[in-house]
Amino acid sequence: MALAISFSFLLVFLSPISSSHPQNLQFIFEGFNRKEANLTTKGASIISSGLLRITNLSENVIGQTFYRKPIKMLTPNSNTSSSSSSGPTASSFSTHFVFAIVSPTPGRGGFGIAFTISPSTNFPKAEAGHYLGLFYSGNDGNRLNHIFAVEFDTVNGLNENSDSKGNHVGININSMVSNASKPAGYVKEGSVSNEEDLDLESGDLIQAWVDYDGKNKIINVTVAPIRVEKRPSTPLLSIGYDLSDVLLENMFVGFSSSTGKKSSYHYLSGWSFSINGPAPPLNLSKLPAPPKQENSSSFKLSTKVLIASLSVIIVSLFVILFCLTLYKRIMPFERLEDWELDCPHRFCYKDLYTATKGFKDTEVIGVGGFGAVYKGVSPSTGCEVAVKKITRSCQEGMKEFAAEIESLGRLRHKNLVNLQGWCKKKNHLLIVYDYIPYGSLDSLIFHPKNDFVLGWEQRFNILRGVASGLLYLHEEWEQVVLHRDVKSSNVLIDSDMNARLGDFGLARLHDHGEMSHTTGVVGTIGYIAPELARIGKASTSTDVFAYGALLLEVATGRRPIGPEHFVLVDWVMECYHLGRLMSAVDLNLGLGFVVEEMELVLKLGLLCSHYKPEARPSMRQVIRHLNGEEEIPEIDHWGLFDSQSVNHFHSRFMQGLSSDKITSYRSSSLGAISYASLDAGR
Ligand SMILES: *[C@@H]1O[C@H](CO)[C@@H](O)[C@H](O)[C@H]1NC(C)=O
Ligand SMILES: *[C@@H]1O[C@H](CO)[C@@H](O)[C@H](O)[C@H]1NC(C)=O
Ligand SMILES: *[C@@H]1O[C@H](CO)[C@@H](O)[C@H](O)[C@H]1NC(C)=O
Ligand SMILES: *[C@@H]1O[C@H](CO)[C@@H](O)[C@H](O)[C@H]1NC(C)=O
Ligand SMILES: *[C@@H]1O[C@H](CO)[C@@H](O)[C@H](O)[C@H]1NC(C)=O
Ligand SMILES: *[C@@H]1O[C@H](CO)[C@@H](O)[C@H](O)[C@H]1NC(C)=O
Ligand SMILES: *[C@@H]1O[C@H](CO)[C@@H](O)[C@H](O)[C@H]1NC(C)=O
């Protein structure tokens, strides 16, 4: 690689000796040969890339390189008529060189590099550091030194405090105290006076020109970065000075550099020199570039990069944390617990809040035993949904509750109101259902609009639908689901006049989290089976009992329990015993019903309302009866069932209601007196 890098060395002597004419000498180095025969070096060395390294990073070292032969710097005075005092004068000279100062850390390097013209290549006692290997305190400023130097200093000059930046160029004569100095800079071509700062320590190649006009006695010093192809026309330093007294006949030209407590690599990349003529321009593209990173500095750099990236990561983490905290403050909607995260049916509170317009009262489409139901538009599907808002007294059991809702969410049947999902927010529980536009069976029978009468065919179809839905819950799904609150207001009618059973399984939720009672009886008066009221045990037969009450209700158009201790079952049973079963039929129907079906429904209603749970049919049997696949046994053969025992039960139950034992009693806003939801134990 070293040898591949092009270097060239030209040495041209033109008319080497001439007494009358000024001598012309010029040489050019574009990169340096490893075995450079025409240079003397001290402390300096030529490195593989073709650079001449004047100093390394060691502290307090001096490095020097000089052109091997002395150069005649004086011109005999040709003005014969001049006064006796005039001796030989300093010749014009011109030099162009390219150097680089590479510091381990920018701004921390030292000390500098100096283009030097001196009578000798030996500088006895010369010191490193500020003295740049040229002077020492004992000879600094002595006229006998005969040393001319242009210093490129990266540390404040000796005894100089003015240039606090240290980054300066100075013209020194016999002394380290500069005759003229200026912070490094150059005037950009095209701009009149705008001086660009130049960082000598940047590690990049820097060009410099030193010109002495022997006739007009002017010293010009110019610097520019390597990227400036053309030499700036305005020099950085231009002073009038006669070097005739300073320079001697034979002088050595070269460079001296030193480090002190601070150190840099000082490199020379190219150099041309000429007496009595402009220095040959260096072909910049041929010059070797300084190594970008040296060992220790590269380590420091990578450390820096590491530290920087680490701090960036840490700062961004803090920012993210801060934003999250802020977000939670501003949007206090939800904080999810672990178990909530992987529930596919979980809705986002914010979405439901928007869907129901902030649970506005105008969006309420019903008020049930559990709480209000709001209409909304699902943000995900755009479909209409019903959102049931349940407020619970405590948060206990939320997890079990959610698990249950999750599993209920998987139920799918054409006669069920599909549960789409749920959401919890503090003590609020939101359950999202399909929106069923036609409302409940209860309102169609008891509060019809415009004297609308639900026909028998539709009623029979609805009853069959409810039975089908219940059968699915009891027997056809993977586990037994008890509805626990079958009643007309929980039967919703869709646009095809099909029954959709809603709120299934929910009643049990009231058990969870209600601390004291294990026997939480939940249901609606008139639909609660006797054994459920007595021992609080719900089963599929308690659902069948409630379905029986629904059958009678739909057939008769009367509520299961009416004012003044009216009990529908007893009344229908009485009608039956009196042989006038058809007199129980809803008067609104007139004659618009099928007698056989009506009889079937009334009898099935009575059978399902049997006092003994084991006497009631299963839902599968109910469907077989409704389909006419199985005959209903004769009522007289039902055994234990008699109106006396039913009466007995119901009157006891009603007494219980009015006593203080049952403290919570909620009246449905829709219902008449007999129609109520009851949460026993609350
Ligand atoms: C050194 O300079 C002389 C001329 O003085 C030249 O002939 C010689 O080739 C140079 N040496 C090298 C190694 O370039
Ligand atoms: C640096 O250069 C000096 C000579 O100027 C030499 O003595 C020293 O060993 C060098 N240090 C390194 C680390 O190369
Ligand atoms: C020679 O010196 C005289 C007086 O010092 C001066 O007037 C004259 O111009 C000089 N001539 C040249 C060619 O420098
Ligand atoms: C400039 O150099 C001369 C030596 O020739 C010296 O006497 C003089 O004091 C210097 N001027 C400054 C300002 O350093
Ligand atoms: C030195 O600089 C001055 C001012 O820019 C200029 O007029 C003069 O020609 C320059 N002399 C040399 C030898 O470069
Ligand atoms: C500079 O050197 C390159 C090759 O290194 C060469 O192609 C180019 O012509 C040279 N330019 C001049 C002005 O000599
Ligand atoms: C780099 O550092 C290692 C030790 O850390 C040393 O052995 C090696 O010589 C160094 N290389 C250079 C080019 O300075």
133 touches ligand 2 (CB under 6 Å) = no
- C-alpha to C-alpha distance for 201 and 262, rounded to whole angstroms: 12
654 Cβ partners below 8 Å, 6+ apart?
561, 565
Transcribe 250-271 into DSSP letters: EEEEEEEEE--SS--EEEEEEE
Q: How do residues 583-623 score in pLDDT, each as one tens digit?
A: 999 988 888 899 999 999 999 999 999 988 888 999 999 99
Question: By percentage, how much of the chain surpasses pLDDT 70?
Answer: 78
From 360-374, 394-408, 573-587, the region with the lowest mean pLDDT: 394-408
Which of 7, 11, 27, 66 has most ligand 1 atoms within 8 Å of CB, for mutation?
Answer: 11
- C-alpha to C-alpha distance for 97 and 284, rounded to whole angstroms: 10
Question: By percentage, how much of the chain surpasses pLDDT 90?
Answer: 39
Q: Please tell me whether residue 277 adopts helix, strand or coil conformation.
A: coil
Q: Select the more confidently predicted residue: 361 or 159.
A: 361
What does the pLDDT read at residue 15?
34
**Which residues are tagged catalytic?**
485
Residues with CB under 6 A from ligand 6: 6, 283, 285-286
CA-closest residue to ligand 3 atom 10: 79
Per DSSP (E only), the strands in 508-558 are 522-524
Q: What separation in angstroms does the CA of 311 have from each of 307, 314, 317, 318?
A: 6, 5, 10, 10
- Stretch 349-369: mean pLDDT: 80
Q: Please tell me whether residue 206 adopts helix, strand or coil conformation.
A: strand
Q: Say how many C-beta atoms besides its own lie within 10 A of residue 276's C-beta.
A: 17
Gyration radius from the chain CA atoms: 54
Residue type, 239: I
82 touches ligand 3 (CB under 6 Å) = yes
CA-closest residue to ligand 5 atom 1: 220
Residues with CB under 6 A from ligand 1: 9, 11, 37-38
CA of 32 to the centre of ligand 1 (A): 13
Instruction: Tell me which ligand sits closest to the C-alpha of residue 294.
Output: 7
| Confidence band, pLDDT 50/70/90 cuts, at residue 220 | very high
Q: What separation in angstroms does the CA of 481 have from each of 405, 423, 476, 543, 643?
A: 12, 21, 10, 10, 31
- Structural contact between residues 443 and 500, judged by C-beta atoms closer than 8 angstroms: no
From 225-234, 404-413, 547-556, 583-592, the region with the lowest mean pLDDT: 404-413
CA of 175 to the centre of ligand 4 (A): 8
* Beta strands 218-225 and 206-213, pairing class: antiparallel
Q: Select the more confidently predicted residue: 335 or 199.
A: 199
From 122-136, 144-158, 257-271, 326-340, the region with the lowest mean pLDDT: 326-340
The residue among 255, 146, 159, 167 whose CA lies nearest residue 210 is 255
43 Cβ partners below 8 Å, 6+ apart?
54, 55, 61, 62, 63, 64
Helix ranges restricted to H, 19-129: none
Helix ranges restricted to H, 423-489: 441-446, 456-471
Does residue 29 register a pLDDT over 80? yes
pTM for the whole thing?
0.49
- C-alpha to C-alpha distance for 592 and 503, rounded to whole angstroms: 32
Q: Select the more confidently predicted residue: 5 or 48.
A: 48
The structure tokens listed for 60 are 């307090």
Does residue 378 register a pLDDT over 90? no
Residue type, 179: N
Q: How do residues 438-447 score in pLDDT, each as one tens digit?
A: 888 988 888 8
Q: Report which ligand 4 atom has the smallest distance to the Cα of 177.
A: 14
Residues with CB under 6 A from ligand 5: 211, 213, 218, 220, 234-235, 238
Cβ burial 558-572 (10 Å sphere, 16+ → b, else e): bbbbbeeeebbbbbb
DSSP 8-state symbol, 203: S
What does the pLDDT read at residue 192?
62
What does the pLDDT read at residue 638?
66
Q: Say how many C-beta atoms besides its own lie within 10 A of residue 393's C-beta.
A: 10
CA of 368 to the centre of ligand 4 (A): 106
Q: Say how many C-beta atoms besides its own lie within 10 A of residue 168's C-beta.
A: 24
What does the pLDDT read at residue 565?
84
Is 389 annotated in some ligand binding site? yes
What does the pLDDT read at residue 237?
94
The structure tokens listed for 284 are 């910049």
What does the pLDDT read at residue 465?
95
The structure tokens listed for 289 are 């570039």
CA-closest residue to ligand 4 atom 11: 179
CA-closest residue to ligand 2 atom 8: 58
CA of 32 to the centre of ligand 7 (A): 23
Residue type, 476: E
What does the pLDDT read at residue 55?
93
- Structural contact between residues 190 and 151, judged by C-beta atoms closer than 8 angstroms: no
The DSSP H or E segment spanning 273 is: strand 265-275
DSSP 8-state symbol, 279: P
Per DSSP (E only), the strands in 355-470 are 364-367, 372-377, 384-391, 419-425, 428-434
Instruction: Tell me which ligand sits closest to the C-alpha of residue 58.
Output: 2
CA of 58 to the centre of ligand 2 (A): 6
Instruction: Tell me which ligand sits closest to the C-alpha of residue 79.
Output: 3
Residue type, 432: V
Tell me the sheet residues that pair with 423.
430
Q: Which of 98-112, 222-236, 460-474 has the highest mean pLDDT?
A: 460-474
CA-closest residue to ligand 2 atom 3: 43
- Stretch 195-212: mean pLDDT: 90
DSSP 8-state symbol, 56: -
CA of 104 to the centre of ligand 7 (A): 14
| Confidence band, pLDDT 50/70/90 cuts, at residue 2 | very low
Q: Say how many C-beta atoms besides its own lie within 10 A of residue 412's C-beta.
A: 10
CA-closest residue to ligand 6 atom 7: 285
- Structural contact between residues 604 and 615, judged by C-beta atoms closer than 8 angstroms: no
177 touches ligand 4 (CB under 6 Å) = yes
Angle at alpha carbon of residue 82, lines to 78 and 86, rounded to 5° = 80
Burial class from Cβ neighbours inside 10 Å (0-12, 13-18, 19+) for residue 180 reads middle
Q: Say how many C-beta atoms besides its own lie within 10 A of residue 51's C-beta.
A: 25
For CA atoms 171, 175, 177, 183, the dihedral sign is positive
What does the pLDDT read at residue 665?
33
The residue among 288, 287, 275 whose CA lies nearest residue 210 is 275
Mean pLDDT over each residue of the chain, to the nearest integer: 80
What does the pLDDT read at residue 14?
37
CA of 104 to the centre of ligand 2 (A): 16
Angle at alpha carbon of residue 671, lines to 669 and 677, rounded to 5° = 80
Q: How do residues 506-521 score in pLDDT, each as one tens digit?
A: 655 544 333 333 345 6
Q: Report which ligand 6 atom has the smallest distance to the Cα of 6.
A: 5
CA-closest residue to ligand 1 atom 9: 11
Tell me the sheet residues that pair with 220.
211, 238
179 touches ligand 4 (CB under 6 Å) = yes
63 touches ligand 2 (CB under 6 Å) = yes
The structure tokens listed for 96 are 């162009």
The structure tokens listed for 518 are 């294990």
CA of 220 to the centre of ligand 5 (A): 6
Q: Say how many C-beta atoms besides its own lie within 10 A of residue 221's C-beta.
A: 24
621: left (phi over 0), alpha (psi -120 to 50) or beta: alpha
Instruction: Tell me which ligand sits closest to the C-alpha of residue 270.
Output: 6
Q: How do residues 65-94 score in pLDDT, each as one tens digit?
A: 999 999 999 988 766 554 545 678 899 999
Q: Please tell me whether residue 73 adopts helix, strand or coil conformation.
A: coil
Does residue 654 register a pLDDT over 50? no
Instruction: Tell me which ligand sits closest to the C-alpha of residue 133.
Output: 2
228 touches ligand 4 (CB under 6 Å) = no
Q: Please tell me whether residue 232 adopts helix, strand or coil conformation.
A: coil
